[in-house]
């Protein structure tokens, strides 16, 4: 027993001796150390297993001995900028130098103020787009500030920043603060501003001001108390010389000095480095400039960089269409590897077709240098058979890439015949064997396309979905959209742009339906709900799953549920699911038969909607319903908790009608919706 105790003590002592020691060597993904002389003159080095040279000192130690460490990050947006500039030169003959752009382009700021910032670096999230609409940036400083503010903590200052930007009164605790804070409307936004305030109002050197800024950011209480004294009263060395004059000597009152120090301490915790924000803002401005002035080339470059993601392609194509840009289907006669511009449209890239790799497309483009293809057989003859197998060719056919020659059914009917004939012919040519009577043109003419009707629209859409990753020429939901819209609060794209969790009602098509069993043996399910604007994952937990009728892929439904955001994943937790055929006015699942009474237009009425309180989850979906039924009759919101009645803004006014009433009843129940004749 004594021996066991001694062994335990020995192991405990060993563990304590290891505590705090470096566990392993790791490499920073983008960290580069820069020095005047060879690094071996300053610190020990070692080689990694990949034969890279790295320092044996950790990051902080490298900085402490005075070496410069910089992080060099790669951005997809830089590729977008490069490709867009190249396309502009090819299509318009304009050689654009992004480094010499003026920062006052009116079209760029008009685009940002409209919130049309999809695809723009740092500014494309739903929350950021909403802020841009309110802020309406008019100068480059506004872009820098909004990038710095749009983070947890400083985000709370955004409403006040917008109010001051739009004309609200701006005051400063001391006149010396104005030159420092004028560009941000009196609000401390950047770390550099904290340092400038410490220098100009406390007499700090910029070096000591940076130490103050770090201490404030880390909330070190002892250091903060010491720095408060230094800022207000100043600091002398042993010989009585002033290292820091202090705010009182500079001319501030004790009250102002204390208040300014507290203000600096409050914002230093969240302050963002302006140099960092400015570097980001430059790329933001450049991408916004290209989208505003060269939308075709910009969108083509943007789409080409996301070819590996069908969801992103679908998202950005929808944005292009909303901007009035037509997206043409893939075509072996005109398409490039990526997305390209063609007159006033964008042509879908062959490289984005399923089963068609970049190497295949490069061989197609190489063969096309000798002129456009004359037929399907001519295509198969000229493209190297080493890459053009049956799978690749069928994918091109089903994606609609041979639309210049024939329909999909016609191409599929002769696919094997054409491929075999072209394969044999290519082999004969390589071996030097050919017949004078076996000419390619005659063989091409010998292949007759059968008279076959084209596929039905739904079949074509399904092929597009499978091989392009999206519905390109239409959407199966289009024909029933008018039936489900009255029961929804927004489209999926608008929902995904929201950064707040809330109750929503969304309509769309069920795809990827899966059933699972929980550990308790209960059934649950998940699927992706798709509409014309995008898709979102829906989860059905056991309690709700037990209440719904059987649903499956390709069914049109309306989902009422909770919009949830966790770790950047956005989902809907379903609370109620209704099939298209079951959509009708309901209260507590019982149909309502609305009386059809003629209503004279001369009678002025007001619509009253009752909510438990002004934080009700029903508010968002109801506002969406109201906006889709605009009219001239005012709407009033009654809140039961405080008995208050508020008149809705003009954008929420409506006209009485069955479609509107059905939608309102479906979300909040018949008893909470009342029309009253105005006196």
At 190-233, the pLDDT tens digits run 989 999 999 999 999 988 888 888 888 777 777 888 888 999 99
Integer Cα distance of 471 and 531 in angstroms: 10
pLDDT reading at 600 higher than 50: no
Instruction: Give the max Cα distance, the chain.
Output: 109
Residue the block writes with tokens 């010989």: 239
pLDDT at 10: 78
C-beta of residue 226 within 8 angstroms of C-beta of residue 234: no
Tell me which of 235 and 266 has the higher pLDDT.
235
Least confident of 178-182, 253-257, 388-392, 644-648: 644-648
- Mean pLDDT for the stretch of residues 337-364: 93
pLDDT at 1: 54
pLDDT reading at 483 higher than 90: no
Six token digits for residue 143? 């872009």
CA 336 to chain centroid, in Å, comes to 26
Least confident of 145-149, 205-209, 437-441: 437-441
Tell me which of 254 and 28 has the higher pLDDT.
254
pLDDT reading at 595 higher than 50: no
Whole-number Cα distances in Å, 21 to 16, 24, 78: 10, 9, 40
pLDDT reading at 650 higher than 80: no
- Mean pLDDT for the stretch of residues 490-498: 80
pLDDT reading at 598 higher than 70: no
**If DSSP codes are grouped into helix, strand and coil, which group holds residue 164?**
helix
Highest mean pLDDT among 295-299, 488-492, 494-498, 533-537: 295-299
pLDDT at 448: 77
Fill in the DSSP letter of residue 484. H
pLDDT reading at 593 higher than 70: no
Residue 408: pLDDT band with limits 50, 70, 90: very high
- Mean pLDDT for the stretch of residues 568-575: 87
Highest mean pLDDT among 244-248, 533-537, 626-630: 244-248
pLDDT reading at 354 higher than 60: yes
pLDDT at 319: 86
CB neighbour list of residue 163: distance below 8 Å, 6 or more residues apart: none
pLDDT at 405: 87
- Mean pLDDT for the stretch of residues 431-460: 69
Q: Which region, left, alpha or beta, applies to residue 509 given φ > 0 means left and ψ of -120 to 50 means alpha? A: beta
- Mean pLDDT for the stretch of residues 327-338: 94
Main-chain dihedrals φ then ψ at residue 391, nearest 5 degrees: -65, -45
Per the prediction, the chain carries an average pLDDT of 85
pLDDT at 464: 93
pLDDT at 586: 42
pLDDT at 3: 64
pLDDT reading at 538 higher than 90: yes
C-beta of residue 354 within 8 angstroms of C-beta of residue 467: yes
- Mean pLDDT for the stretch of residues 375-402: 90
Highest mean pLDDT among 157-161, 442-446, 448-452, 601-605: 157-161
Whole-number Cα distances in Å, 535 to 96, 127, 238, 315: 37, 19, 69, 9
At 17-52, the pLDDT tens digits run 777 776 677 777 788 999 999 999 999 998 887 778
**If DSSP codes are grouped into helix, strand and coil, which group holds residue 118?**
coil
Tell which residue, 387, 377, 382, 392, has the closest CA to residue 426. Answer: 382
Least confident of 205-219, 541-555, 658-672: 658-672
Residues spanned by CATH 2.40.50.140 within the chain? 478-583
Highest mean pLDDT among 49-53, 57-61, 434-438, 465-469: 465-469
pLDDT reading at 565 higher than 90: no
Whole-number Cα distances in Å, 8 to 1, 16, 18, 553: 11, 12, 15, 61
Residue 601: pLDDT band with limits 50, 70, 90: very low
C-beta of residue 395 within 8 angstroms of C-beta of residue 468: no
pLDDT reading at 455 higher than 50: yes
Among 3.40.50.2020, 2.40.50.140, 3.30.300.30, 3.30.2130.10, name the CATH number for the domain at 478-583. Answer: 2.40.50.140
């Amino acid at each position: 027993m004594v021996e066991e105790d001694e062994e335990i003590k020995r192991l405990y002592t060993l563990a304590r001796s290891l505590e705090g020691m470096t566990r392993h060597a790791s490499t920073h993904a983008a960290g580069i150390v820069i020095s005047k002389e060879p690094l071996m003159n300053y610190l020990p080095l070692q080689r990694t297993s990949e034969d890279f040279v790295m320092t044996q000192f950790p990051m902080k130690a490298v900085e402490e001995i005075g070496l410069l460490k910089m992080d060099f990050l790669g951005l997809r947006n830089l590729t977008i900028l490069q490709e867009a500039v190249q396309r502009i030169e090819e299509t318009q003959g304009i050689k654009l130098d992004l480094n010499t752009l003026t920062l006052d382009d009116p079209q760029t700021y008009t685009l940002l103020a409209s919130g049309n910032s999809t695809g723009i670096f740092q500014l494309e999230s739903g929350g950021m787009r909403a802020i841009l609409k309110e802020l309406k940036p008019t100068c480059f400083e506004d872009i820098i500030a909004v990038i710095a503010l749009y983070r947890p903590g400083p985000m709370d200052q955004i409403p006040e920043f917008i109010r001051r930007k739009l004309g609200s009164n701006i005051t400063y605790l001391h006149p010396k603060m104005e030159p420092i804070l004028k560009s941000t409307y009196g609000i401390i936004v950047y770390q550099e501003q904290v340092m400038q305030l410490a220098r100009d109002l406390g007499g700090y050197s910029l070096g000591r001001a940076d130490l103050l800024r770090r201490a404030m950011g880390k909330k070190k209480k002892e250091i903060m108390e010491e720095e408060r004294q230094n800022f207000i009263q100043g600091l002398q060395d042993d010989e009585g010389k002033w290292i820091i004059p202090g705010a009182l000597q500079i001319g501030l009152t004790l009250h102002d000095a204390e208040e300014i120090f507290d203000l600096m301490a409050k914002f230093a915790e969240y302050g963002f480095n302006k140099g960092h924000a400015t570097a980001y803002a430059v790329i933001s401005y450049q991408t916004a400039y290209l989208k505003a002035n060269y939308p075709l080339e910009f969108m083509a470059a943007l789409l080409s960089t996301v070819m590996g993601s069908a969801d992103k392609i679908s998202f950005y194509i929808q944005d292009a269409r909303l901007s009035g840009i037509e997206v043409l289907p893939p075509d072996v006669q005109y398409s490039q590897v990526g997305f390209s511009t063609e007159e006033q449209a964008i042509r879908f890239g062959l490289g984005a077709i399923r089963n068609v790799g970049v190497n295949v497309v490069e061989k197609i483009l190489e063969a096309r240098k000798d002129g456009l293809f004359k037929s399907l057989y001519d295509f198969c003859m000229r493209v190297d058979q080493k890459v053009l197998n049956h799978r690749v060719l069928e994918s091109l056919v089903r994606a609609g890439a041979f639309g210049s020659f024939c329909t999909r059914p016609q191409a599929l009917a002769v696919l094997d015949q054409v491929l075999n004939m072209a394969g044999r012919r290519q082999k004969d040519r390589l071996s030097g064997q050919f017949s004078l009577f076996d000419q390619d043109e005659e063989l091409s003419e010998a292949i007759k396309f059968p008279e076959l009707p084209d596929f039905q629209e739904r079949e074509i859409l399904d092929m597009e979905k499978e091989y392009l990753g999206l519905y390109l020429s239409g959407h199966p939901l289009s024909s029933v959209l008018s039936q489900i819209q009255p029961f929804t609060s927004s489209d999926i794209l608008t929902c995904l742009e929201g950064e707040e969790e809330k109750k929503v009602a969304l309509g769309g098509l069920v795809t990827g339906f899966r059933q699972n069993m929980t550990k308790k043996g209960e059934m649950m399910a998940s699927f992706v709900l798709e509409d014309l604007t995008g898709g979102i994952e829906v989860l059905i937990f056991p309690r709700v799953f037990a209440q719904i009728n059987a649903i499956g892929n390709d069914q049109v439904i309306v989902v009422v549920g909770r919009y949830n955001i966790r770790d950047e994943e956005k989902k809907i937790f379903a609370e109620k699911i209704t099939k298209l055929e079951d959509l009708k006015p309901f209260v507590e699942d019982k149909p309502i038969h609305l009386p059809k009474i003629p209503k004279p237009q001369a009678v002025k009425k007001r619509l009253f909607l009752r909510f438990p309180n002004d934080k009700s989850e029903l508010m968002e979906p109801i506002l969406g319903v109201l906006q889709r039924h605009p009219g001239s009759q005012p709407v009033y919101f009654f809140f039961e908790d405080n008995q208050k009645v508020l008149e809705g803004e003009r954008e929420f006014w409506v006209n009485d009608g069955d479609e509107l009433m059905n939608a309102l009843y479906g979300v909040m129940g018949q008893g909470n919706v009342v029309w009253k004749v105005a006196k």
